[in-house]
Amino acid sequence: MSSRHRAPALRGVDFGEFVRQRAAAGTLVVQPRMGFDDPRKMRAGLSATKSAAAATVGTVTLDSYTRLRDDEALADALARGRPLNGYPIVAHDPAVTAAMLAGLYGPGFPVQVRHGSAVPQDIFEALVALRLNATEGGPVSYCLPYGRTPLADSVRNWTQCVRRFAELREEGAEPHLETFGGCLMGQLCPPGLLVAVSVLEALFFQQHGVRSVSLSYAQQTHAGQDREAVAALRRLCGELLPAGSWHVVVYAYMGLYPVTVHGAYRLLGAAAELAVCSGAERLIVKTVAESRQIPPIEENVAALEFAAATAARTSRDGRSDAEDSETYQEAAALVHAVLGLGPDLGAALVRAFERGYLDVPYCVHPDNRGRTRSYLDGDGRLRWADPGALPLARHGRTGAARRVTSAELHADLHYVRRAFDGADEERVALPDGLAPVPAQDGLPGGSPEIARAEGS
């Protein structure tokens, strides 16, 4: 390790234990997707997250040059003062990052580093040097959607990095990894596949020495199907992962987000309700303007507080008991088919994509077969139009493929945006004292449909 990575080591925080303790007390942990290039602004964002009226964990999201390991472009951008879309943790002197986190990061406020890299060696070296022991990703979920790195290379990279990350335990810091597998492509991926990849990546992490894991699931197009999916995810975790080693994190919808304030907050509220009703322990929020620009700190805090307030008034008695659902049957079939390809999970994942046992619809990565297609049925549930070679024959996923036209695909991609923007403008209750979100890039701000909930 080079001398530039010898930095003041931060005190390790048990990320998984923090979330489990809040869940045991009946509190949903909420988290932003926040990243700024300036260490002072990044610190301000973390401070505001910590001070929000919610149970929060912090996020440091890295920039795209760091994610792609484009050191030359990153150095040029920094030299010219061009803004980045995240925090360049590898480019900053580690002492700068340590100072940015000092007094914020600690037992009461864990921080997770988020990146999106299929070649994350430098990132993990920076994390280990600082003893920052919570991050996320995976050999599949940080490879297929984000570039053209060969899947076998990503698996090798992630094998090295997970093993390196696991060494933090020897320094008294319990490493925690969240799989991004439940968020593949963000949208139009039937939930059985999302659940399966989430479970497989978590097993991959534990096989290579990281014991504490979290499993993701991204909100999709139908609330009932989402509840079934999280129930399936939790059942498979109970069957395959050691007790007390995992928790579930729900992501607010990652596809085309509503552009109206009332639509965006109604959708975020539905994500918070999904997290509570399904027993998930953590929620990644989304903001109104996130698809257009890096959201300001104030908008992130507004989203955190709104989600927390919604969760607090949502009954936990509605938890789905549909554990033996169609989604569970599909996810279990996929997981066990991949596990049957050999004891080394990394090698099994590569074989699974070669054989089409795993195949992500509408994903153009060269190592993805691209034979599967999906569509929304009349109720808004995600279905397989063509299951390709997915091993689902025992579960009724065979027969003639359904043709999906470009017009249908376009309509499906816009389904959630239309549904939430086009509904009657309802008064969306925000936490007491929280101001309406200001206008961003022409979006309506201070809209009368947003009302403060007195005493909520």
DSSP string covering 42-93, please?
Answer: HHHHHHHHHHSSS-B-EEEEBPHHHHHT-HHHHHHHHHHT---SSB-TTTS-
In angstroms, rounded to a whole number, what is the distance separating the alpha carbons of residues 194 and 203? 14
Predicted pLDDT at 322: 61
Predicted pLDDT at 304: 97
In this prediction, residue 25 has a pLDDT band, given cuts at 50, 70 and 90, of very high
Predicted pLDDT at 288: 81
Tell me whether residue 339 is in a domain.
no
C-alpha closest to that of 180 among 112, 125, 239: 112
Residue with tokens 């760091």: 66
C-alpha closest to that of 290 among 322, 256, 245, 323: 256
- CATH number, domain of 231, equals 3.20.20.240
- For residue 256, which phi and psi values (nearest 5 degrees)? -65, 110
In angstroms, rounded to a whole number, what is the distance separating the alpha carbons of residues 240 and 206? 11
Predicted pLDDT at 436: 47
Average pLDDT over residues 404-419: 94
Tell me whether residue 393 is in a domain.
no
In this prediction, residue 230 has a pLDDT band, given cuts at 50, 70 and 90, of very high
What DSSP assignment string belongs to 172-216?
Answer: T---EEEE-GGGTTSSS--HHHHHHHHHHHHHHHHHTT--EEEEE
Tell me whether residue 207 is in a domain.
yes
Q: What is the largest CA-CA distance in the chain?
A: 61
This prediction's pTM: 0.91
C-alpha closest to that of 113 among 19, 177, 188: 177
Residue with tokens 């403060």: 452
Residue 334 has pLDDT above 90, yes or no: yes
Cα 311 to the chain's mean position, in Å? Answer: 18
CB 361 within 8 Å of CB 355: no
**With DSSP H G I counted as helix, E B as strand and the rest as coil, what are the percentages for the chain, rounded to 5?**
45, 10, 45
Predicted pLDDT at 324: 82
- For residue 125, which phi and psi values (nearest 5 degrees)? -60, -40
Residue 7 has pLDDT above 90, yes or no: no
Predicted pLDDT at 429: 64
What domain range includes position 14? 3-318
Mean pLDDT of the chain: 89
CB 406 within 8 Å of CB 223: no
Our count of domains for the chain comes to: 1
Tell me whether residue 23 is in a domain.
yes
Average pLDDT over residues 59-80: 94
Hey, what are 333's tokens? 């079939």
Classified as helix, coil or strand, 108 is coil
Tens-digit pLDDT profile for residues 174-215: 999 999 999 998 789 999 999 999 999 999 999 999 999 999
Tell me whether residue 353 is in a domain.
no
In this prediction, residue 291 has a pLDDT band, given cuts at 50, 70 and 90, of low
Beta-sheet pairing, 282-284 with 246-251: parallel
Tell me whether residue 386 is in a domain.
no
Query: Residues with Cβ < 8 Å from 161, sequence gap 6 or more?
Result: 120, 121, 123, 124
Predicted pLDDT at 441: 37
Tell me whether residue 346 is in a domain.
no
CB 188 within 8 Å of CB 361: yes
Residue 440 has pLDDT above 70, yes or no: no
C-alpha closest to that of 118 among 424, 365, 292: 365
Side chain identity, residue 74: L
Tell me whether residue 15 is in a domain.
yes
Predicted pLDDT at 455: 31
Predicted pLDDT at 58: 98
